[in-house]
Structure 1
């Protein structure tokens, strides 16, 4: 019995020892876990301070790492996407499972770096591990696909999410705003759907909506959003929304609304003041802009780049070189002439538009670093001063310095060459080849410039070929094609392009109709011209201006419809135009209409009696109808004033 008891005791001893071993190993595991926790906290502190040079050695020295460790290091290297994805791959190779934070960070890295293939691979792993319904991961994927331009995929993912918070709605709204052809009505419908699901908007939501209304100049819809902003109480509490309202009203030309929104801000910051200054400057209200600019500085607010660029652009439009030089002095005093590419480009452009090309070149040569934007500004200045040969030389200098010309460079050069004495089919072809080689041939600005250049050389068939190669031509491209047809006497083809443009849902503007009327004028399409002219107001809500009336009067005059032309001329807006009456008088001489011609000659002499061309035209008309006394009196007046006509010049290209 004793032996049996001893055996039983011996058999129970290993169990006691294993229990003791378990007790002694548990504190060791706790120690490792506690050490990992402390290391992760230390790593988090270093990454929060953006001290990656210290964070990386700490990461590599850690013997034990978990999901939190890799989440921290991936988020720390989000601005270096190659390293971030390398850490994510290492995490997978070690068998460490991802969390929702991991996927959100990695998708954000792929979004910011435009890594499409890698982002799709991460999406596949999200689906495989069942994180598709996670609101944070889903929101990151929605943002990824909208940034890649795949709005359909983004909307599909958005609709599949079982739960959508405000951040996801704002991400989707931002993606819709970044689309080229988004309609404000669709955005407002999306906003209504958001409110219907019980999600309350914030300032970011309204900023996106106002931004789109600002881009499309939709005053009525923007006022509706303004009412919603006022209702939720963000006008006074959110300065960013208040600034967005100021920008919106200024873009729509409603300066009273912009001023009221600014005055409603209790604590206007630097952005608010500079927004109002730029609003007045962009709308050519120099006195008001300068007044706000002065008060801003009295309140201790520092002018920003936006204000200075607004003043410089105003000087460019108005030709105020003296005031532009004063702004230049302020720019140098504040140090923006060396630190801001926008200010440098605006300075070069200002001197060029004021026809002080020496000042423009001087600013360019003093730059600490020559950027592509500054090259483009100088090329635009040279084009404005008609220095085309210098433009071509500057293009070569740009390439020599290792800068790659963009669509602005090619478009500016083409426009300058097409209207200069150096215009030739060969030069247009050379730039066309370069644009195709550099992948810029499909850009709208380059395509329009090419269509214009080829049509000026008489090769309208090449303009048609470029237009047809565009996958989605804009309204500007359609206008360029209509103008190319008009320039080459193809009025019916231009009308057909205008009709196709309207059927596609694109809205023609004043320039579009002017090009179409010019084509009718050159081709003698009277009835088609009448239809186009009348449809401007009745169908498209566009009031014809002086240019449209002038084109239509010239069309009627060429067709001999002088009474109708005179009636239309009397309806023209603004002051009576000397050129239109001169066209009418010239047609009266051709068609032998003495009655209308006498009235036209009388009006011309009243409008511009100091123009020698007007006096000569009226004198010749009176002589042709037998009123020699009136003709002689007009010539005597011209001789007494010692008036002489300018001698015209013409240029032709000789092929050798």
Structure 2
């Protein structure tokens, strides 16, 4: 309190004093210091000034509180608060709002901010709006809406900033109906400023109302950078990646300068669309815009290159980062996982010495990809040791891990204990049942998921069709393949056709599978014809097999699978000369069979056996957590 040895008692002047009394030199100097952010000099000059010379004390103290915010000096703000109380200035509305702003932006305990608000002599719309916004930023959206209701009870009319804050609260709690009501209030009162429209775009985007979101943006006369970023983020969040990318390139016509959040969203778009060229263009724009040191942008770059299959580029971005945190480290691990390169994930995890739960989901994915259950259990134990419970991402990964390692009952127990399941959780459990031969449970789980209001996606139907394929449920498989398109409007991908070809081929409907494949957009995919040719091996249908093999050889004459499978069919039918001739043709044309590899566990350490090498590869996995 040594900075405040002089006490400036005052009787408050009328609110129109600024129009009548010019600022004396001392007051102007103090305000100038405040404007420049020189807090210490302003306080020092205030202490050397005679209180009688200060005619605009409310303005001076309000400016000092704003300067404390600029200087991030909470302690000086507390001392000023004490001095304001002694001076009787806490009854001034202008000073009170500045004091509330200081507590709101610098305070560590929001309850203290609430006490300041409750003790304000006069609360205007600015005071109420500060508290409503404060609760939103403090991750208490319900309290924010309650505060809005109390404001109306006191007869205070909301302004555009108030409505913007309470719309953000609706976004956080997912209350679309209430948000639409506030949209109506905004329309009736004629509020159409960019910041309130941005809040509405964000709310509709978070609640899957992307058409309304886009309509609001298109009706804006002069959208600013915040509006552009908000609508691009909303489109990205709703998987409208091409639209988001189109808007990003359109911004050049409107002199819109992207910020870190815009770059983060558009890099996510490029990654999900696997647009390497555009991703590199955005990377160049990041460099020229001076955002290279931004953690959000650089972590998004890591993720983008990983999704585009450029793991080495991801690693180079990571190595050049000056500041790394758990998000950037996890993004690098995710890049390796994304490309099926699981081995480096475990070693990098140990090297980085990471123990944050944020990366456990990625680490468990790597263990599932390698089917190393022991290391996965170690990560599970670390998760429980840290008090982890109810994290849907990590626990969904655990379901997937145990299911892939054959512990389907354990996976199901974890699934039942997850309090809030998302689509990833359901997909992991359905896939787990399907992969472990429990087709009935997989289909029952699918029905339960739909009955609970969850909409299946393409991954769900891959698992369902896989279950039908490996259990011979031909009629059910046909039905699921049909409703996928007609009911859920999901375009069948190569994986769905692969399951259907396998299903029909296993049941002996070779020509039906051939017809289905011939009419699909994937009619030139070699792997699908290979699956169909493999089915011919079981039923020894030579005529169809030769036709399919010929088709495969036309697509890729150097691919070994068509020769090998057709030779196996010849042998099964006793046509040894034809099989031998096919082998000679392979040799003459330079077609080579790719050798296989087998994974095994030796003393809880993973290794693989290479048939071209009599020994085991010495690269084995140590403890996942390094313990």
TM-score range, shorter chain: 0.7 to 0.9
CA distance in 2, matches of 1:190, 1:415: 43
Change (3 A) 1:637 1:315: same
Query: Structure 1's 392 and 187: CA in aligned 2 closer, same or farther, altered over 3 A?
Result: same
Answer whether contact 2:504 2:512 (CA < 8 A) is retained. Answer: yes
1:413 aligns with 2:363: yes
Q: In the TM superposition, what is the alpha-carbon distance from 1:43 to its structure 2 partner?
A: 0.4
- Cross-structure match for 1:615: 563
The residue correspondences of 1:177-216 to structure 2 (distance < 5 A) are 177-179=171-173, 186=177, 189-190=180-181, 193-194=184-185, 200-214=191-205
Q: Which runs of 5+ in 2 are unaligned?
A: 1-8, 14-50, 605-627
Greater Rg by CA: 1
Structure having greater relative contact order (Cα 8 Å, sep ≥ 6): 2
TM-score by length of 2: 0.73
Residues 567-586 of structure 1: pairs in structure 2 closer than 5 A: 567-586=515-534
Aligned counterpart in structure 2 of residue 48 of structure 1, from 66, 71, 74:
66
CA distance in 1, matches of 2:250, 2:593: 54
Q: Specify the SS of the correspondent of 1:651.
A: strand
Q: 1:174 pairs with 168, 173, 183, which one? A: 168
Contact 1:242–1:262 (8 Å) recurs in 2: no
Query: CA–CA distance in 1 between the matches of 2:589 and 2:287?
Result: 50
Q: Is the aligned partner of 1:461 residue 2:409?
A: yes
1:557 aligns with 2:498: no
CA shift, 1:254, in A, is 5.5
Deviation at 1:352, TM superposition (A): 6.0
**Could you tell me whether the CA contact under 8 Å between 1:379 and 1:412 is conserved in 2?**
yes
Shift, 1:582, TM fit? 2.6
Distance 1:634 1:60, change over 3 A: same
Call closer, same or farther: CA 1:172–1:566 in 2, change over 3 Å.
same
Give yes or no for the alignment of 1:391 onto 2:389. Answer: no
Partner of 1:76: 102
Equivalent residues of 1:556, 1:565 under 8 A apart: yes
Whether the 8 Å contact between 1:486 and 1:516 is mirrored in structure 2 is yes
C-alpha distance in structure 2 between counterparts of 1:323 and 1:335, whole Å: 17
User: How large is the Cα RMSD of the aligned pairs?
Assistant: 4.3
**Change in CA separation of 1:154 and 1:415 when aligned onto 2, cut-off 3 Å:** farther
Corresponding residue number in structure 2 for 1:252: 240
Aligned to 2:617: none
1:202 & 1:333 partners in 2: Cα distance?
A: 31
1:652 is paired with a residue of what secondary structure? strand
Q: Residues 159 and 554 from structure 1, CA distance in 2 versus in 1: closer, same or farther, beyond 3 angstroms? A: farther
Per-residue deviation, 1:654: 3.7
SS of structure 1 residue aligned to 2:520: coil
Shift of 1:191: 6.0
Residue 588 of structure 1 pairs with residue 569 of structure 2: no
Could you say if the C-alpha distance between residues 531 and 84 of structure 1 is closer, same or farther in structure 2, counting changes exceeding 3 Å? Answer: closer
2:10–2:87 Cα contact (<8 Å) kept: no
The secondary structure found in structure 1 opposite 2:470 is helix
CA contact (8 A) 1:315 1:321 kept: no
Instruction: Work out whether residues 355 and 385 of structure 1, in 8 Å CA contact, stay in contact via their aligned partners in 2.
Output: yes
How big is each residue's C-alpha offset from its partner over 1:90-123, in whole Å with a ceiling of 9 and x where there is no partner? 898xx88564566665565555345x7xxxxxxx
Deviation (angstroms), 1:437: 3.1
C-alpha displacement of 1:512 = 0.8
CA distance in 1, matches of 2:526, 2:398: 34
- Say if 1:315 and 1:75 are closer, same or farther in 2 by CA, change over 3 A: closer
Contact 1:211–1:244 (8 Å) recurs in 2:
yes
Higher mean C-alpha deviation, range 41-50 or range 458-467 = 41-50
Aligned residue for 1:569, secondary structure, equals helix
Equivalent residues of 1:81, 1:110 under 8 A apart:
no
Q: Distance in 1 between matches of 2:602 and 2:226?
A: 61
**Aligned: 1:270 with 2:257:** yes
Q: Cα deviation per residue 1:526-575 (whole Å; 9 max; x = unaligned)?
A: 22212211111122121222221210121121122223323322232233
Contact 1:601 1:618 in 2 (8 A): yes
Change (3 A) 1:343 1:412: same
- Aligned residue runs from structure 1 range 344-359, under 5 A: 344-346=298-300, 348-349=302-303
Structure 1 residue 49, shift from structure 2 partner: 3.4
**C-alpha separation in 2, matches of 1:532 and 1:99:** 61
